[in-house]
Amino acid sequence: MDALLALEDGRTFACRSFTGPGEASGEVVFNTSMTGYQEVLTDPSYRGQMVVMTYPLIGNYGVNPADVESERIQVEAFIVREYQSYPSNFRSSGTLADYLKRQGVLGVEHLDTRALTRHIRNTGAMRAVISTQDVGPSALIKRANQIPKMAGQNLAQVVTTLEPYRWQDNRPAYINPDLCLMDHTIWHYRGEKPSVVAFDFGIKFNILRLLSEVGVEVIVVPGFNKAAAVQAMQPDGIFLSNGPGDPEPVTDGIDTIKALLDYRPTFGICLGHQLIGLALGGKTFKLKFGHRGANQPVENLKSGKVEITAQNHGFAVDSETLDDKDVEITHLNLNDNTLEGFRHRKLPIFSVQYHPEASPGPHDARYLFDEFKKLMKRS
């Protein structure tokens, strides 16, 4: 079924829907990962965005229940060069098209993804509409300009869990607050394992898997949880997750982090990193087209090593706005020299902009989960 993608600047791209009739809108961004499209689809950090895959052949290994990073598809639409409708893989339990259709997400192919990616690199990520309806390009362009801009949107409040849960048997086990006190008695392995409260601003499941693998007991709480509720649980550490949208409007999270800065060892990833930066008095800004993919080079300034990292973010912390008396820069992006990590000089707090849990991506930065555990033990 023929479709048309119309960008807010007036450029259009012909394409074809492989999921049937439909329409989608959002900010168009590109991801350079060669594999892991199911993890990309289910990453909550993509809420509000339509994702272009730069690798040309997508769908060739199908989908399966194990490779998800949340409980649903998060992208607004999926844009590929060529869709493979006959997957071949021993883990496959279905096709990508059926997976998208079951959740009402539009997938399009036969679009010049190289041209679209270069256009985004030159002009920046922008709003767009994709439609199979023959309404004409001018109407779609007009509608694209009416979509809310990503800057100023608090999308973390849209994707966060509404109920706390344990990470148990490789999946969420929701806690009924009416049947369980949310205090220090909540922990099953108190004294045996470090206990961590993880704020969900759009958390990926692989983060929880890796925290569990290093021997940490995790309870996930909504991103809007207050500091007093966390202190009542008396955890050994606090984790601040990734998430979508602009960090500055996430005022509840920023206020809570401010209140907890000197409370427990804290580790932040992606949006969590940005929120710590804001809580420390820094500023954030929107990148031209963001960092999304599994091949971003980051220099660890402490070790001198270069880590190849997985990333998915459109905003960054302005390192010039952080007080270097309190904050030490630990990681820099080697493509554009933007801030990728810092630690507090006095408090047990550190964070990184990239995704050490990857999924998909390399494992160069998984040591950070061990560092978090060590930090809790030292504290």
Task: Please state, in angstroms and rounded to a whole number, the distance separating the CA atoms of residues 377 and 319.
Answer: 29
Task: Please state, in angstroms and rounded to a whole number, the distance separating the CA atoms of residues 106 and 18.
Answer: 8
Q: Give me the residues paired with residue 168 across strands.
A: 171
63: nearest Cα among 86, 38, 34:
38
Contact 275, 281 (CB under 8 A): no
Contact 42, 159 (CB under 8 A): no
**Choice among 8, 27, 307, 357 that is catalytic:** 357
Task: Please report, to the nearest 10 degrees, the dihedral formed by the alpha carbons of residues 202, 206, 209, 214 taken in order.
Answer: -100
Q: 183-221: b or e for each residue (b if 16 or more CB lie within 10 Å)?
A: eeebbeeeeebbbbbbbbbbbbbbbbebbbebebbbbbb
Task: Please state, in angstroms and rounded to a whole number, the distance separating the CA atoms of residues 136 and 153.
Answer: 29
| Sign (positive or negative) of CA dihedral 118, 123, 128, 131 | negative
**Choice among 270, 307, 331, 340 that is catalytic:** 270
- Quick check: is 248 catalytic? no
**Choice among 119, 273, 331, 355 that is catalytic:** 355
- Quick check: is 357 catalytic? yes
Contact 15, 108 (CB under 8 A): yes
- Quick check: is 180 catalytic? no
357: nearest Cα among 30, 36, 31:
36
Phi, psi (degrees; rounded to nearest 5) at 210: -75, -35
- Catalytically active residues are 270, 355, 357
